[in-house]
Structure formats: C-alpha cells, structure tokens
Amino acid sequence: MTAEHAHAEGDEAGPAASVSVLDEILAGVREDVARRQEQVPLERIRELAAAAPPPLDAYAALRRSGVAVIAEVKRSSPSKGRLAEIADPADLASDYAAGGARAISVLTEGRWFGGSLDDLAAVRAAVNVPVLRKDFVVSSYQVHEARAHGADLVLLIVAALEQNVLVGLLERIESLGMTALVEVHDEEEADRALEAGAQVIGVNARDLRTLEVDRSVFERIAPGLPSSVVKIAESGVRGPHDLIRYASAGADAVLVGEGLVTQKSPREAVAELVNAGNHPATPRPVR
C-alpha cells in the first residue's frame, strides 16, 4: 500500500514494538474488521453511514461549563477481566444520561471488552447526548461503521497508529461530521495528536502496554495542551476526589467506566461525579 493510500483510507496501523496486550488486541481487531468487511462491503457501509441521522456536536457539549462526565458502557477489560453483566446497554446508558452524563462511551471491541456495534446502536437510540465509539480504530471502514451505528465521536489511539494513518483517519472522521477523541499516553504522543489537528484529546492514565495506572500522566501532559483543545482524563477515576484532582490539572471532562459499572447504582454514581464537576469549588479549565 502506498503512503498516499494509507493517508486517504487509514488502512494500516501500528508502529513496530515488542508484543504487548495492545499488539494482541490490534491483531484481533484487524481479523474482525476483515471478517465484517466481507459480510458488509465498504460501499454498503458508506451508504448506511450517509443515511444515518446527523451527528451531535460533541466538542460543544464537552466545552460547556463544569467538568463533564463521559460514562462508559464497559463489560470487561484486559486488566480486570469481567467487570459487569450488562444485559441491556440501552438501559445503562439511559441511567447514565439521567444521572447527568454529558456523553456516553460504548466499547465495541468484542474479544477483550465484550462490546459490539449492536451495543453502540442500542445506546444511540436510547439517549440524546453524544455517543463515543470506543474501539481500536485502524481503518476507514471502522469510521464508516461508527457513523452507520450512530456514533458522534470516534476514538483514535495514537500508540496504535502511524502518523499518516492518524491524520487520514482524523480527517475521515471529521468529513463525516463526527468528532475524533485522540488518546495519548505521553508527551510525544500529545505532540503527534496536536500535529494531526486533534481538537479533543484524551490522556489515558493507563499504559496500554503494561496496563498500569499513573494519574500523574494527565498532570504532566494537560498543561502543555492549547486552551482550545478539550482535555479528557481517562482511567483512574474512582470517585469525586479523582475528578477534582484531574480538574485541578485542567480537565474539561473525565471518562469513567469501571468506576461506574461496578457500582450498585450507576445512575447515583454518575450524579455524584456530575455534582462534583459542577461544584463552585471545583477548579475550572482556563479557556
């Protein structure tokens, strides 16, 4: 494949690295995408994407006052295994929205996270807030899939993508009216995200290669991001105290999965975080 084709279509990904959980996940993702593309060709998925209702403005939603909560539909994770039996993701998403979640994140990777595109479509139909397709996106086919199933945001993980592919996928996401949430884990990846044109950057405290969590990562990276960029703290939010810590470092939003799905009442857990994010004493990002 030529560099131009990779830039346009985003069909290659992954800098060379030692075998890790991320590498294993990406290998499975590519197999699954190839299988789905045999079942539903790219031309057809593009038609379905074009026919979907217009996406919501996620950037504007996350820029509103207060620290936003992005609540995640998450059954499993590589680090913890099975987290929750979520029989009806639409019901869970509705509870999240009722609790004040500004957006809903839906894991659609099946092998490690127990998610699916059906989950995404079900959540989209149940809520009127922006919905994120959280997956390991390595091709433009997945971007069109996301739009066809109602996504407003699509996750791009810098560690999983060569720079030209990152740029191509980000451009494709925006061309379909969606917002790219570009995930980084260190300063070098943050620079790459900015160079690619990212307007929404998620700083993941969890290292995707070791699965360890270090909340100080956000505190190191966020101050170097422009005020125009929406800054999302990912991983490590167990309660309001963690939200406030991230807010103090400049977070516009926090993305929370395990800390919600493992609660007896996810709705109340979301509301507690939302209240903390809106409290007058909680630091506000400089804009």
Mind listing the pLDDT tens digit for each residue in 127-144? 999 999 999 999 999 999
134 annotated active-site:
yes
Determine which of 36-45, 48-57, 88-97, 276-285 has the lowest per-residue pLDDT on average.
276-285
Per the annotation, the verdict on 171 as an active-site residue is no
Name the active-site residue from 9, 12, 72, 189: 72
Residue 279: the pLDDT is 86
The 10s digit of each residue's pLDDT in 76-114 is: 777 777 777 887 999 999 999 999 999 999 999 999 999
Q: Which of 105, 109, 134, 231 is catalytic?
A: 134
Q: What is the mean pLDDT of the chain?
A: 90
Q: Taking the complete model, does pTM exceed 0.85, yes or no?
A: yes
- Check if 275 is active-site: no
How much of the chain exceeds pLDDT 90, in percent?
76
pLDDT digits over 226-279, tens only?
999 999 999 889 899 999 999 999 999 999 988 898 888 999 999 999 999 998
Q: Determine whether 77 is an active site residue.
A: no
Q: What percent of the chain clears pLDDT 70, i.e. is strictly above it? A: 92
pLDDT at position 80 is 72
Q: Pick the catalytic residue from 9, 145, 204, 258.
A: 204
Q: What is the pLDDT of residue 93?
A: 97
pLDDT exceeds cutoff 50 at 187: yes
Distances (CA, A) of 47 to 35, 121, 176: 19, 16, 12
pLDDT band at 220 (very low <50, low <70, confident <90, very high): very high
Output the pLDDT for position 286.
64
Q: In the numeric block, which tokens belong to residue 247?
A: 């807010």
Q: Is the pLDDT assigned to residue 31 strictly greater than 80?
A: yes
The per-residue pLDDT for 207 is 77
13: pLDDT strictly greater than 70: no
CA 180/CA 173 separation, integer angstroms: 6
Answer with the residue of higher pLDDT: 51 or 284. Answer: 51
**Active-site entry in 183, 189, 258, 272:** 183
Of 259 and 35, more confident: 35
Which pLDDT value is given to residue 224? 95
Residue of 9, 12, 74, 109 with catalytic role = 74
**pLDDT over 50 at 14, yes or no:** no
| pLDDT value at residue 17 | 38
User: Is 80 a known active-site residue?
Assistant: no
Q: Is 235 a catalytic residue?
A: yes
The verdict on whether 74 is a catalytic residue reads: yes
Architecture of domain 3-278: Alpha-Beta Barrel (3.20)
